[in-house]
Amino acid sequence: MKKKNKKILMIIMAVAFGAIMVGSSTVALFGGFGNPKNTAQTTDTTITHTPADNYKDKDRPIFCETSDAKSNKYITEFKIPTACTQPLGITTDSDGNVWFTESNTGNIAKFDPSTKNFTEYANPLWQSHEKSMMWGIGHAPDGNIWYTDSGHNLIWKFSPTDKKYANFNYPTTPGQSESFPQMIVINGKEILINDFVGRKITSFNVDQVGSTIDYSTIHSPGNYNFTSDMTVDSNGKIWYTVWTYQQGGNLVRYDPQTGNKTQFILPLGILAPNGISVEKDGKIWITDTASSIFFSFDQQSQQFTKFITSMPPESTYGNASGLIKTPISRLYWSQIDDKGRMWFNEQVANSIGVFDPVKGSLVEYLVPSKNPNWSDCGYMHDCGVAQVLDFTTSDDKVWFTEWVENNIGVLDPNASLAMDVSVTPTDIISHRGDNSTISFTIIPNEQIVDPVTLVTSNTANTNDIIVSGNHQVTMTNQPKTISINISADNFALTGTYKVLIGARYHEVTISKYVTVTIK
């Protein structure tokens, strides 16, 4: 593949739906804003003999880091010893070690949570000054670490035993000029990889690896531009999405035993369905990278249900220019933990979210580090995003990477929340033009010294459902109940919608959902 064509492809894809792609030294982010303090025109490059040398001095704050590692009540960050590694894909092994890709070095690195020590393994097969987005990573039953290399169309294997790397060519689909190995799913001895632009999913068995890989191919149905992440249900069926940006797509179920594919049309308004995961009972969850929406698919009823996150905190998007009218959280990937909760990373909300389908609750944890060069921060302090582009759940912890702050972080879901919330009623049947009142109660678990901010959002079309109430609440040590008004527009579309009502305090937002049916 010609480097120029590869670069153009990556930039187009990045602008199209907010993915971060690297081609040469160009990175594009949909909706991103540069910081006025970092726009000086210079060609100076100070040689540091670190991966930071891949960027000019003026670009290093954008791509390398802007601060030391930080922590809050829920999240602890760890600074990677080598500068500007740009960590991306992350996983854990059976011993609890954390492994991640370094997209600016080509190396695999390990973090030992018990000693807090990093080990970075130099990759002798990597060419100096190159970089590539390495999204997918997994720990196989044979102990090896496998990961994708989209920039070079390669699949890599790293052996923790002998510390050696090996790479394997990834096949280009006949008739397609490009391929893009992206995410990895390890299903026993089988490894699944989606070809994001090559309209296929490939698989191979780790036992048959020699100097080359013999891939099996699942061709994507239709002529959709993108084939996204995969998940495998308890019956061995493979689920994934095929789609065209802003034009919709399908959820696909593939049966490896018969070779049959079954397609389900995705709901209207889904723009970039990237992440996918499956519950033990078979319910499928999908995240939309171009909005604040995540949604489920029930196999029995074959019905989709949309949910929505809270609006991002202003400290993440800034809006110094005043141009951002409807900030979104931009959800990337999802995972189901052993408690049945669904986790996802909110890229431009700089947060990790967890949805509990049993409790009907959403908790969103704000990541401490923020890089102002990726948001509309102007001269605001403590503003921006760290580009949390991947995460993994392990032993009741959530590990994640910060691509532009050179950190990995860990979230402790067992840390007590600052408050709990409840809502009554949780189901409302309304008609066009009707108004309903619900009670939203905030129960403090600690002394709340600053005002609590109320947040609301919903899955209806603009203005079909209006949610109103006090914007801020001053708390005492006692629970406080607030009346929230929900009104249906006179011309609202009939249907069933989810309304999110939550309370934000410092680095955490706790919300509940109300189901509103408009008849």
Question: pLDDT (tens digit, 9 = 90+) per residue, 201-219?
Answer: 999 999 987 889 999 999 9
Yes or no: say if 318 and 372 are a contact pair by the CB < 8 Å rule.
yes
Yes or no: say if 262 and 270 are a contact pair by the CB < 8 Å rule.
no
Choose between 469 and 502: higher pLDDT.
502
d(CA 362, CA 342): 10
Question: Using alpha carbons only, how large is the chain's radius of gyration in Å?
Answer: 23
Yes or no: say if 155 and 168 are a contact pair by the CB < 8 Å rule.
yes
Strand-pair partners of 231? 239
CATH superfamily of this structure's domain 59-411: YVTN repeat-like/Quinoprotein amine dehydrogenase (2.130.10.10)
Q: What is the pLDDT at residue 495?
A: 96
Rounded to an integer, the average pLDDT of 40-68 is 88
DSSP string, 129-148: T-------EEE-TTS-EEEE
The closest alpha carbon to 22, from 151, 119, 112, 149, belongs to 151
d(CA 82, CA 111): 13
Q: What is the pLDDT at residue 31?
A: 32
How do beta strands 342-346 and 351-356 pair? antiparallel
Residue 482: pLDDT band with limits 50, 70, 90: very high
Strand-pair partners of 488? 465
Give whole-number Cα distances, 125 to 107, 138, 212, 418, in Å: 10, 20, 16, 48
d(CA 497, CA 485): 15
pLDDT digits (tens, 9 = 90+) for 451-468: 999 999 999 998 999 999
**Torsion over CA: 285, 291, 292, 293 (sign):** negative
d(CA 230, CA 479): 43
Query: Do 59-411 and 419-518 fold alike per CATH?
Result: no
Residue 43: pLDDT band with limits 50, 70, 90: low
158 Cβ partners below 8 Å, 6+ apart?
108, 121, 144, 145, 146, 147, 164, 165
Yes or no: say if 369 and 315 are a contact pair by the CB < 8 Å rule.
no
d(CA 9, CA 31): 18
d(CA 510, CA 130): 42
d(CA 249, CA 243): 4
The closest alpha carbon to 499, from 442, 460, 452, belongs to 460
- Cis omega before residue 425 (within 30°)? yes
The closest alpha carbon to 347, from 6, 10, 20, belongs to 20
**What is the percent of the chain with per-residue pLDDT over 90, rounded to a whole number?**
86
**pLDDT above 90: residue 332:** yes
d(CA 221, CA 177): 18
d(CA 211, CA 192): 19
| DSSP tag of 11 | H
Question: Residue for token digits 């050179």?
Answer: 406
pLDDT digits (tens, 9 = 90+) for 253-277: 999 999 999 999 999 999 999 999 9
Rounded to an integer, the average pLDDT of 1-22 is 39
Rounded to an integer, the average pLDDT of 357-379 is 97
- H helix or E strand, kind and range, residue 191: strand 190-195
d(CA 442, CA 17): 36
Mean pLDDT of the chain: 91
| Assigned CATH for 419-518 | 2.60.40.10
What type of residue is 435?
A: N
**pLDDT above 70: residue 432:** yes
Q: What is the pLDDT at residue 16?
A: 37
Q: What is the pLDDT at residue 471?
A: 87
Yes or no: say if 258 and 294 are a contact pair by the CB < 8 Å rule.
no
Domain ranges for the chain, please list them: 1-31, 59-411, 419-518
DSSP string, 333-383: EEEE-TTS-EEEEETTTTEEEEEETTTTEEEEEE-S--BGGGTT-TT-SS-
Predicted TM-score (pTM) of this structure: 0.92
